[in-house]
Amino acid sequence: MKNITLLGATGSIGKSTLLVVDLHPDRFNIFALSANTNWQQMLELCNKYQPNYAVMVDEQSAEKLSNAIITDTQVLSGAQALDEIVAHQNTDFVMAAIVGAAGMSSALCAAKAGKRIMLANKESLVLAGDIFMKAVGTFNAELIPVDSEHSAIFQCLQSGKSGLSKIQLTASGGPFLHTPINQFKFITPDQACAHPNWSMGRKISVDSATMMNKGLEVIEAHYLFSLAPKQIDVVVHPQSIVHSSVYYEDGSTLSQLGNPDMRTAISYAMSYPQRINSGVATLDLSNTPALEFYQPDFGKFTCLKLAFEALKKGGNAMITINAANEIAVEHFLNHKIDFLGIPKIIDQTLSTMKHTTLNSLEEVINNDFVAREMARETIKRYG
């Protein structure tokens, strides 16, 4: 029996993780759950799974949950509680599914505690990749990616990296793959959040629509698999059946295929090196639409281009684009800027921010803060 601490329990990854747990009650136990403000949904989860701990990042939400809970679950509050619960001696696996920079500290604490980290928070590597990977190695933690693309690469590389030429991450292209760029200015938040294949939160859905999500995955892959930027490729694949591929010098290509459902990658991270039932239907290629592949259009999807440029630039550039993107997406979702404003804000923030090398988590956090403030100022001028 493995004890799972699930960070981001009320999000899409959290819900999918619990569906896999439900299929294997003899293998997995929910030790701790966390959420930000949704205490009503957390109350339901606590009643069902009866974890030892429930962490609400928001203090008022924690108080409301504490007053309503009828189980023996201990309610904690604040970001510090997340750091403590992932390092708890009874935590075996940590599902790191908090969206954005807010999930970085707890994921790093899990690494320093030597836990199995099922990483669905790509910002931990985008913001602090060198620091994070060093902690994983130093403290003998297990790092298993949960993004469908990185899980696919991880699975394809199980035989090793001998003769590896490059990896290729697939991208669905989002809802605007075939939308003319002259229509981008009129895209609404609801349209951007209507992903054709995946069910995700609104922030990640917008990132998919701009292809910044793929750009962040390129940076994540650089750290996960120790690859140079030139060894990482992206191809647009609207059907989301081929999740990613690896290319070898002998001409071989290995790909991982499956129906577009995050439970496949989640169950693999939970059961590795074994495989268990995820609840996902078996892929039937004879009954699958024709598979299409396109080169990404960097003219339309500038965010993907900016991510590649930031990776090549190195240093704090990746932290800056992530911070600027989070601020820009927030303002887009709140109807403060238009869809085309997102890459403009990121580009201008990156151009304005002083380029430097960061060596500590404190420096990373400070750069993230400064970049956010700079993005807000840029938005004021843009508006």
The binding site for Mn(2+) consists of: 147, 149, 217
- Give which of 308, 51, 342, 315 is closest to 185, Cα–Cα: 342
User: In whole angstroms, how far apart are CA 235 and each of 75, 168, 301, 351?
Assistant: 44, 7, 13, 27
The binding site for 1-deoxy-D-xylulose 5-phosphate consists of: 122, 148-149, 172, 195, 208, 213-214, 217
- Give which of 208, 202, 178, 176 is closest to 190, Cα–Cα: 202
User: Which segments within 69-187 are labelled E, that is strand?
Assistant: 74-77, 93-96, 116-119, 142-145, 164-171
- Cα torsion at 210, 215, 217, 221 (round to 10°)? 170
- Give which of 16, 65, 365 is closest to 201, Cα–Cα: 16
DSSP 247: E
The binding site consists of: 10-13, 38, 121-123, 147-149, 172, 195, 201, 208, 213-214, 217
Tokens 């604490």 found at? 109
Q: Give SS3 for 6.
A: strand
The binding site for NADPH consists of: 10-13, 38, 121, 123, 201
Tokens 């400064």 found at? 370
Sheet containing 164-171: which strands, arranged edge to edge?
Answer: 232-236, 164-171, 242-248, 253-257
